[in-house]
Amino acid sequence: MRAVETPFEKVTAKTFPKGPDVLAPGHRACQGCGEVLALRLIMKALGTECIAVSATGCMEVCTAPFPQSAWRLPWIHVAFENAAAVASGVECAVETLRRKGRGPDKRIPVIAIAGDGGTADIGIQALSGALERGHEDFIYVCLDNEAYMNTGIQRSSETPFGANTTTSPSGKKSKGQATWKKDMPAIAAAHGVPYVATATPAFHLDLMSKVRRAAAIHGPAYLHVYSSCPTGWRLKPELAVSIGKMAVNSRVFPLYEVLDGRYAVNRRVDKPIPVGDYIKLQGRFRHLKEEDVAFIQARVDQEYERILKLAEAFPAEVEKAS
C-alpha cells in the first residue's frame, strides 16, 4: 500500500486525546520548553501502545533522572548517536517475537527520538542505516531546537545562519553561525522512505496527525519537528509556542509532507510576515544588522519556493487519504 493511501486517524479539535499524558509532569525541562511540548503532544498522539527510544539529550536527561521516569510506556535510552539503531533492534525484536508467537499479535510502533545534534550530526549514520533498511514500524522524530542545548548551546549543523551559540559566537570577525541549516528532511526523503514530514507543536493538530500517519504507514517515517528553546534562543518563555507560528508564517520553517516521494505543502504562506519580525524576538540574533536580515530573508524565500515548486511538480494527494 502506498503511504498516501494508508488510512490513519487524524487528530482534530474534536478528537483531541484528552486523557492523561503519556509523558507525566514532574520532568525537569526548562520553563517554556518548546521541545518537551512537542514531545508531550507527539506521545499524546501515539498513546501507550508503542515503544520509545531516546537519544541522549535534554529530553532524555529531563525525563529520566533515576529513580524517576516521566515515560508511561516502555522506554529505553542507550547513548547519543544511536537512537535509530537501538530502535531498529527493538523493532526487529518485536516483529520477530510476534511472528514466532512470543509477543503481542499486533503492530507496535517503535519511535526513536533525538535532538538535532543526535540526528543531523552524530546520529546521521545510524539514522541513514535505519531509513535505508526499511523497518516496518519505525518512526524517527528529530526534535530540532537548533543547537546542542543540553551541553550548553553549542552550534550544530541545524543551527540557523547568523545565530549566536557558545561555539558560533558573534564577534568582530563573526556574524555567528556561518552556515545554513542542513536539510535533514531532504536527506531523509532521499532514502526513498514512504513518509517524511515537517511539523511544529505550534500547529498541534498538524503535528499530531502527522505522528498518527507516521505510525500507520508501513515503513520508516521521518518527522522533523521545530522545537523552540527559550533558554538557548534567548527568547521569553511565554513565546515558546507563538515563535513556532511565526517560524511557519515567515516561511522560515515550511510545513510539508513527502509521501512516496511526492510533496504536499500543508500550509501555504502567501503573505509572509518579515523574517526580521521572527528574528528580533530572539537574543541569539541580536547582533545581526539590517543587511544580514535581508540576506537571510532572501535565502528563506528561495527555500520556501523550492518546496512549493516540488509540490507543484510532484504533488502528493494527501487529502484523499484522510
Q: 199 to 228, contacts with other proteins by CB under 8 A?
A: 201, 204
> Which window, 210-218, 232-240, 248-256, 277-285, contacts other proteins (CB under 8 A)?
232-240
Q: How far is residue 63's CA from residue 36's CA, in Å, rounded to a whole number? A: 9
Per CB under 8 A, 179 contacts other proteins:
no
Residues near other proteins (CB under 8 A), total: 81
Three-class SS state of 80: coil
| Complex with other proteins: residue 200 or 266, whichever CB lies closer | 200
Question: Which residues inside 9-28 make contact with other proteins, applying CB under 8 A?
Answer: 13, 16, 18, 21, 23-28
Per CB under 8 A, 63 contacts other proteins:
yes
Residue 15 in grid coordinates:
478528537
| Complex with other proteins: residue 157 or 231, whichever CB lies closer | 231
Three-class SS state of 76: strand
Amino acid code (one letter) for 51 = I
> What are φ and ψ of residue 144, in 5° steps?
-95, 105
DSSP letters, 161-209, are: TT--BTTB-EETTEES--SPPP-HHHHHHTTT-SEEEEE-GGGHHHHHH
Whole-number minimum distance, CB 16 to other proteins, in Å? Answer: 7
> Which window, 68-76, 159-167, 255-263, 298-306, contacts other proteins (CB under 8 A)?
68-76
Per CB under 8 A, 190 contacts other proteins:
no
Question: Which residues inside 91-150 make contact with other proteins, applying CB under 8 A?
Answer: 92-97, 99-100, 102-104, 108, 125-126, 128-129, 132-133
Per CB under 8 A, 173 contacts other proteins:
no
Q: Are 262 and 310 in contact (CB under 8 A)?
A: no
Question: Which residues inside 279-318 make contact with other proteins, applying CB under 8 A?
Answer: none
Whole-number minimum distance, CB 27 to other proteins, in Å? Answer: 5
Q: Are 136 and 95 in contact (CB under 8 A)?
A: yes
Residue 32 zone, left/alpha/beta (φ > 0; ψ -120 to 50; rest):
left
Q: How far is CA 234 from the centre of its chain?
A: 21
> Which window, 90-98, 113-121, 149-157, 288-296, contacts other proteins (CB under 8 A)?
90-98
| Complex with other proteins: residue 61 or 186, whichever CB lies closer | 61
